[in-house]
Amino acid sequence: MTTLLSRNSANRVIPGFGLSLGFTIFYLALIVLIPLSAIFLKTFTMSWDAFVSAVSSPRVMASYRLSFGAALIGAAINVVFGGIVAWVLVRYQFPGKRFVDALVDLPFALPTAVAGITLTALYSSNGWIGQYLEKAGIKVAFTPLGVVIALTFIGLPFVVRTVQPVLEDAECELEEAAASLGASPWQTFTRVILPSVVPALLTGFALAFARATGEYGSVIFIAGNMPMVSEITPLFIITKLEQYDYTGATAIAVVMLIVSFILLLAINLLQAWARKRAGK
């Protein structure tokens, strides 16, 4: 047994567990833990009353509702339509498929400010799309709806790229077996396909939500940044920093961090439950 362990250790490309773990902890502390700790330490310099006043003013609460609400709605939309996009890209062959597949990654490559300007130009009252929506009584630019559209745009690749590999690895024979046993298309989808895809959908939802919560560049242009209406929390933090109110900015950032962590923890627990259900 000792000889086998030493042989496996000698064949490892990366050095032993102790050195790898030490480097991992050092790297995570340098990149993640120390910056986050700095936010909390700066916030602790405030009194409790000052902290509550900074994070619970009506204007700040309105920005919380918009940021987290729009992020949740955008991520939920992407779960549905991103799942459909992934299904089409995996299960069908059509002209221009590679081009469509490449377009999915466009929000990754496009600078966020460019995305914000482009969406504003499209959905403004005289834009290519916005002028027709305005005639129908739907105003997009400079409203919370515009924020949802921007966050949906930047979150789509996370869902598609998470679900796509799962669908590619799925065994089509199971679907054929279900059909041969008399299952309807809906029964095949809900009892064969969906259980295997749900964990990936939840992962994509969590990634899209996390990205949308802190998104700034693609939102500030289309949002209009009207207080109590279309002002997102990241913009409010930037405003505090420009006013040299560093403690107020870090206090709001701490609230966003805690709420995001709680939501992501709940999503991860839901993922674990979905995987457990799929394994049965």
Q: Is residue 1 part of a domain?
A: no
Q: What is the pLDDT, as a whole number, of residue 4? A: 46
Residue with more model confidence, 112 or 172? 112
Q: Tokens at residue 279, please?
A: 């394994």
Residues 30, 64, single domain; the answer is no
Average pLDDT over the chain reads 84
Residues 122, 185, single domain; the answer is yes
Q: What is the CATH number of the domain that holds 173?
A: 1.10.3720.10
Q: Is residue 239 part of a domain?
A: yes
Residues 92, 229, single domain; the answer is yes
Summary count for the chain: helices (H), strands (E): 16, 0
Residues 122, 75, single domain; the answer is yes
Residues 34, 156, single domain; the answer is no
Residues 141, 208, single domain; the answer is yes
Residues 32, 55, single domain; the answer is no
Residue type present at position 263: L
N- to C-terminal Cα separation, the chain? 35
Q: Tokens at residue 22, please?
A: 């030490």
Residues 107, 24, single domain; the answer is no
**How many folded domains does the chain comprise?**
2
Q: What is the pLDDT, as a whole number, of residue 8? A: 52
Q: Is residue 3 part of a domain?
A: no
Do residues 102 and 109 touch, judged by C-beta distance below 8 A?
Answer: no
pLDDT at 11 > cutoff 80: no
Do residues 232 and 214 touch, judged by C-beta distance below 8 A?
Answer: no
pLDDT at 177 > cutoff 80: no
Residues 131, 79, single domain; the answer is yes
Residues 26, 147, single domain; the answer is no
Residue with more model confidence, 92 or 172? 92
Question: What are the pLDDT digits (tens) for 45-76?
Answer: 888 898 989 898 898 999 999 999 999 999 99
Domain region containing 19: 12-44
Residues 59, 110, single domain; the answer is yes
Q: Is residue 2 part of a domain?
A: no
Q: What is the pLDDT, as a whole number, of residue 217? A: 84
Question: What are the pLDDT digits (tens) for 244-266?
Answer: 888 989 999 999 888 888 887 88
Q: What is the pLDDT, as a whole number, of residue 10? A: 54
Q: Is residue 164 part of a domain?
A: yes
What is the Cα Rg of the chain in Å? 23
Q: What is the DSSP secondary-structure string of 170-237?
A: S-HHHHHHHHHTT--HHHHIIIIIHHHHHHHHHHHHHHHHHHHHT--TTTHHHH---TTTT--HHHHH
Residues 23, 71, single domain; the answer is no
